[in-house]
Amino acid sequence: MTQSSPGQASDWQVEWHLSRPLPVPLPVLSRWWWMASVLGLLAALMSLPSAAWSASGHALHLVGALAVASLITRLALRAYGHHAQDHDHIAMRADRVHVACCRGGQTQSLDCHPRWLRVEPVQHDRSLIRVSGEGRSVVVGEFVPSDGRKQLANELRWALRHLDD
């Protein structure tokens, strides 16, 4: 969890940026994507002449297997990259609360006055957190370990009570 204070460039009094922990950073993922593409293409091009002249067709099977493996690798890397930027952003000030959840490139957001905002667990203290207000709700906390979600909910409630201070 990252909180920013009023002294930073943002106009929010308090913010939380909750992002997916990535075992592989996106620039490294991009390099892997291009390496898999180039290696798959090179392997197919180098094997093609021997596959065309092979009487048994084993070389052709090898080219096909390499092409399929390359395609599967590229699809897996694409799926990983698609969700690597998933995050929750919660920002508060005295007159407005903004909550945004980005999953797979789709963003669901909630904007309302702090007086009308409710923070509650979806099921129990360690479950995801439902933030609701003015007839809408958003679920946050997916990227917070389950034992830290109660603390996040308490921090959100505390901040809502102290926005006018």
- Pairwise CA distance, residues 27 & 8, whole Å: 27
Q: Taking the CA of residue 157 as centre, how many other CA atoms within 13 Å lie in the half-sphere pointing to its CB?
A: 12
Neighbouring CB atoms inside 10 A of 93's CB total 16
Neighbouring CB atoms inside 10 A of 147's CB total 9
What are the residue ranges spanned by the domains of the chain?
Answer: 3-20+86-161, 26-83
pTM assigned to the model: 0.68
How would you write the pLDDT of the chain (165 residues) with one tens digit per residue? 544 444 445 688 899 999 888 787 777 877 877 887 787 778 767 766 665 555 556 666 776 777 787 778 778 877 877 788 889 999 999 999 999 999 988 999 999 999 999 999 888 878 899 999 999 999 999 999 989 999 999 999 999 999 876
**CATH number among 2.30.29, 3.30.465, 2.60.120, 2.120.10, domain 3-20+86-161:** 2.30.29
